[in-house]
Amino acid sequence: MIDRGYIVLARLDSHRLPNKAFKKFGDKKLIDWSIDSLMQDNSAKVILATTNRPVDDLLEKYALEKGIYCYRGDEKNVAKRLLDTIKIYKIKYFARINADSPFIRIDLLQEGFDKIKTGLYDFVTNLVERTFPYGISVEIFSSSFFIKEYSNFNDPEHFEHVTKYFYEHSDSFNIFSIKYHENSHHIRLVVDTVEDLKYFNKLYLQHENLNLKKIEELINIFRK
């Protein structure tokens, strides 16, 4: 059984930026930024959850080379892919991670795991009241809770956007909300487009150890 798991959702046929995971950001691939950060947490395992289509064969190869777990499942039902990952690897608690978010904050994720393990909350998030920069996300669940609630998903968007159901029914759940001391959600720290990638690469050349900056430092950089 895996006590804590980082489930990283990724695929290679993004419409806005195909093969995004393997695009160069600074001195390594975009996906390396999130995976390398997560692998620094020795208390958790990293699982790459991708589709079972040939287009994503390279992601499985990448996972094997990095020495992390990989699960390949349903293309369109992302929630089912996540559910199967939980069950196959027997994960007790998990964080949902997007591979196109290079500025992973391990300290926030560890805080979230500590909160969910108290047993006092259904899930932990910083997205109920969005105060952190877009791209710095915390969504942590106990697997038993996610499995139970999955049976209540009843909208196609619930299966595509795996946590949408929980926010639509947030009044029914006991949620721990992590908040930043000021509203910085207008700052984008995620790679969606070619323009995003060009912008980040430009900043990478201007600032050493960009991914190691504290949130306050990142916010100041991206405000300029």
**Phi, psi at residue 20, to the nearest 5°?**
-55, -40
pLDDT by 10s per residue, the chain, length 224? 999 999 999 999 888 898 999 999 999 999 999 999 999 999 999 999 999 999 999 999 999 999 999 999 988 899 999 999 999 999 999 999 999 899 999 999 999 999 999 999 999 999 998 999 999 999 999 999 999 999 999 999 999 999 999 999 999 999 999 999 999 999 999 999 999 999 999 999 998 888 778 899 988 888 76
**Phi, psi at residue 3, to the nearest 5°?**
-70, -50
Is the domain covering 2-223 a CATH 3.90.550.10 domain? yes
Where do the H-state alpha helices sit in the chain?
A: 30-39, 57-66, 78-89, 106-116, 143-150, 156-160, 164-168, 194-206, 215-223
Indicate the pTM of the whole model: 0.95
Q: Is 202 left (phi over 0), alpha (psi -120 to 50) or beta?
A: alpha
Q: What Å distances lie between residue 211 and 26, 157, 189, CA to CA?
A: 10, 32, 11
